[in-house]
Amino acid sequence: MIERLAFRNLLVRPWRSAFLLFGYSLGVAVMIVLLSIGEALLSQARQEKLVGGGQVTVLPSGIDVEVLKTGGLGGMFFSIDRAHFIYRQMLAAPRLSPFVAAVAPQIEGKLLYARTLGGDEVAVLASGEIPSRTSAVDAMPLIAAGAWSDDALDREWHDPAPRELRHSIDHFHVPPPEAVEDPSWAEWHYFNVLSSDRTRWAFIAFMVTGEVPDGRWGGQVLVTLHEQGGETRRFVANLPPSRIRFSTSTADVAMGESSVTVLADGRYAVRARAIEERGSRPAEVNLVVAPTPGVYFPGAALTTAGVVSGYVVPGLRAEATGSICVAGACEEYRSAQAYHDHNWGLWRGVTWEWGASRAGPYTLLYGRVQPDTSTTAQPLFIYVTDSLGFLGLFRARDIQYEDTRMLRVDGKTIRIPSRGLMTDIRGDDTLRVELTVEDATAMDTRTPSGDRREGLSAREISRPYFIQMKGRMRVSGRVSGRAIAGEGAGFFETYR
């Protein structure tokens, strides 16, 4: 009946039917084309290889995945800051291993121009991938000939040995152009170690300062020993450039008889020789510092408003074994609580809030650098780790200090913190950090011993006293839906 209806319609109104038939055919044809395009789009959308394989694509904020598929925006240049960290401490970290089978870091094709020896410029598309990782997310390209496999650098990128990781984040730097003539440039390795009864501690610094490498520069080994309630003893060794060896590709540094060497297993061999600042007794430090795997801060570099500074913490939670001797009297350390960081930059008029502490199974790092030109304080960062590495990041607005301790510095009594409190709420995550100061030392940065090569007459620091504190940190809150709580010992710094 329907066929009859259709046929009859054709006979009754042949022109209209023909027109409709043509229109319908055209419509069907268009639909077929559109559906084909749609199918192709759908196929492409499902084609994992077009966006690098895998099931989830991580892009910088503001970049749409379609940009990758289409190569849009003129081969837009973008990259993910801290890609190493995001890879090792987040996406491919043990914490996500139940959910993430493989992660493939990739630099999408970028339009570059290569200049030939003849001077011609040729447009080339450059991209970067790690073969084993790309293969793991099922996005291997077709290999026309030969093999495509990881080389040593690929492996070092995605699965560095502890020693390789130390060197990659803990190496030295040459000053950037804006700092090369600034004598306040300094770069140093810093270690601290705390006795098991938490009554004695040591700060050991290996500092390269001045106009490196062309101007007046030198090195300083500084060992600070302190016993709770007692005097601070400082031991110093100043060294000329001829006796200093540092590298921009490794963490190793040698300053006369002192040195920091990364051992084959990634531990640090710390050897320091210095003479008492107000006397002649020698101090000898021989420690092996072993960072807890995965518990490190990847580093941050700040270049703004005349401030160039960088900071990395290869040993946020570490243990030290060895001895510290003064004039032959040695104190032995066995798996003592330790810490290691690395700093570089210009420090003219810069103040900071800083702290690193254990809190039960957690280890926290907080900080903020305040240039002298800045009138507004940026929020602090609070970096939280546990045995699986990075756990969460918080941004407390400030530290609420209670300045009820008194301390004498060069004959003057100053108030310093006895307690501190930081809180932050980020979505469903909350963090409360309470600091309790057990002991402290202070230094007037305007005195020669605290000189940061700023020039005494030029210095107008509103908070000239640099306060180093030892104390307890108590942490509570909730991270990723899990309650956290813990308490432990640590070191904190501020200015007054």
Partner 1 sequence: MNDAPVVSALDLQREYRMGGEIVHAVRGVTLDVMRGDYVAIVGPSGCGKSTLLNLLGGIDRPNAGTVSIDGARIDRMNDREATRFRLTRVGFVFQRFYLMPALTAIENIELPMAEAKVPSVQRVQRARELLAYVGLEVRRDHRPAQLSGGEQQRVAIARALANKPTLLLADEPTGELDARTGAEMIELLGQVNGDGTTIVVVTHDEELAKAAWRVVHMRDGVIVDDRRRAS
Decide: 364 and 473 in contact? Cβ < 8 Å.
Answer: yes
Q: Closest approach of Cβ 8 to partner 1, in Å?
A: 4
With CB under 8 A, what is the number of residues at the site for partner 1? 9
Query: Based on CB atoms, which residue is closest to partner 1, 13 or 482?
Result: 13
82 touches partner 1 (CB under 8 A): no
Q: Closest approach of Cβ 38 to partner 1, in Å?
A: 25
SS3 for the chain is CHHHHHHHHHHHCHHHHHHHHHHHHHHHHHHHHHHHHHHHHHHHHHCHHHHCCCCCCCCCCCCCHHHHHHCHHHHCCCCCCCHHHHHHHHHCCHHHCCCCCCCCCEEEEEEEEEECCCCCEEEEEEEEECHHHHHHCCCCCCCCCCCCCCCHHHHHHHCCCHHHHHHHHHCCCCCCHHHCCCCCEEEEEEEEEECCCCCEEEEEEEEEEECCCCCCEEEEEEEEEEECCCCEEEEEEEECHHHEEECCCCCCEEECCEEEEECCCCCEEEEEEEEECCCCCEEEEEEEEEECCCCCEEEEEEEECCEEEEEEEEEEEEEEEEEEEECCEEEEEEEEEEEEEEEEEECCCCEEEEEEEEECCEEEEEEEEECCCCCCCCCCEEEEEECCEEEEEECCCCCEEECCEEEEECCEEEEECCEEEEEEEECCEEEEEEEEEEEEEEEECCCHHHCCCCCCCCCCCCCCEEEEEEEEEEEEEEECCEEEEEEEEEEEEEEC
Query: Based on CB atoms, which residue is closest to partner 1, 8 or 334?
Result: 8
Q: Phi, psi (5° rounding) for residue 70?
A: -95, -10
Decide: 468 and 430 in contact? Cβ < 8 Å.
Answer: no
Q: Closest approach of Cβ 23 to partner 1, in Å?
A: 18
Q: Closest approach of Cβ 21 to partner 1, in Å?
A: 14
Q: Which of residues 1-30 bind partner 1 (CB under 8 A)?
A: 1-2, 4-5, 8-9, 11-13
* Torsion of the alpha carbons at 394, 395, 399 and 400, rounded to the nearest 10: -90
Distance CA 117, CA 95 (A): 49
Query: Based on CB atoms, which residue is closest to partner 1, 16 or 397?
Result: 16
Q: Closest approach of Cβ 1 to partner 1, in Å?
A: 3
Q: Closest approach of Cβ 353 to partner 1, in Å?
A: 55
Query: Based on CB atoms, which residue is closest to partner 1, 1 or 147?
Result: 1
Query: Based on CB atoms, which residue is closest to partner 1, 6 or 40?
Result: 6
Query: Based on CB atoms, which residue is closest to partner 1, 21 or 236?
Result: 21
Q: Closest approach of Cβ 19 to partner 1, in Å?
A: 15
Amino acid identity for residue 75 in this structure? G
Query: Based on CB atoms, which residue is closest to partner 1, 8 or 412?
Result: 8
Query: Based on CB atoms, which residue is closest to partner 1, 8 or 82?
Result: 8
Distance CA 259, CA 288 (A): 12
Q: Closest approach of Cβ 9 to partner 1, in Å?
A: 4
Residue 295 CA from chain centroid, whole number? 11
Query: Based on CB atoms, which residue is closest to partner 1, 7 or 77?
Result: 7
Q: Which of residues 237-266 bind partner 1 (CB under 8 A)?
A: none
Q: Closest approach of Cβ 35 to partner 1, in Å?
A: 23
**Both structure tokens of 333:** 């350390």
Q: Which of residues 22-81 bind partner 1 (CB under 8 A)?
A: none
Query: Based on CB atoms, which residue is closest to partner 1, 3 or 151?
Result: 3
Query: Based on CB atoms, which residue is closest to partner 1, 13 or 463?
Result: 13
Q: Residue 406: beta bridge partners? A: 415
Query: Based on CB atoms, which residue is closest to partner 1, 4 or 278?
Result: 4
Q: Closest approach of Cβ 31 to partner 1, in Å?
A: 22
Q: Closest approach of Cβ 144 to partner 1, in Å?
A: 54
Contact positions vs partner 1 (CB under 8 A) = 1-2, 4-5, 8-9, 11-13
